[in-house]
Amino acid sequence: MFHFLKQASLSRGSWFLLLLSCVVFEGAGLYFQHVMKLEPCVMCIYERVAILGIALAAVFAMLAPRLLLVRLLALAIGLFSAVKGLLLALQHTDYQLNPAPWNQCPLMVEFPTTLPLNKWLPQMFEAYGSCSELQWSFLGFAMPQWLIVIFAAYILVLGLVLISQVKPTRSRQRTLFK
């Protein structure tokens, strides 16, 4: 398995699949927001940024997947974003399952002044919903609970790919006429 993961991490196609999965999840989030008219909350926006961090890691790795340093840096960025996203989704789930006046998310997103995403792309990064409000569910699970599953899957896959990087690549030698 680790040999397969190592070989897969050396190709642009694998990183493209990671990028494609992020684009699908971002597209689903924008569909929920703009077509289904669900109001994104602050935690939704932060979780969206975490998915974009994983997408950025995939794009970075696609530049030069055969270079170990590039792969390791992309895996570090992707794992950091996935772990941060998982922690955000857990917090968001807590806001929904245990609503209380002292257990609320901030009213407005807080991006650094050097990267005001909510000012640059308000259609994508401006929050105007409540974190504790349950607006959508599928199979009995709310959106942040599904995001827990998604981020955990990203962590599992990226973690296994990271472990596979220490496995040396086998050189293919002929053994027929040795």
Catalytic residues: 41, 44, 48, 105, 131
Look up residue 118 and give its two tokens.
């909510």
Given a contact cutoff of 8 angstroms between Cβ atoms, the answer to whether 65 and 11 are in contact is: yes
Whole-angstrom Cα distance, residue 60 to residue 71?
Answer: 8
Count CB atoms within 10 A of the CB of residue 65. 20
Q: What is the token pair recorded at 151?
A: 């981020």
CB-count exposure of residue 135 (10 Å: 0-12, 13-18, 19+): middle
* Pure H helices in the chain: 2-9, 12-34, 42-63, 68-97, 117-120, 122-125, 143-164
Element (H, E) at 111: none
Residue 95 and residue 131 in contact, taking contact as beta carbons nearer than 8 Å: yes
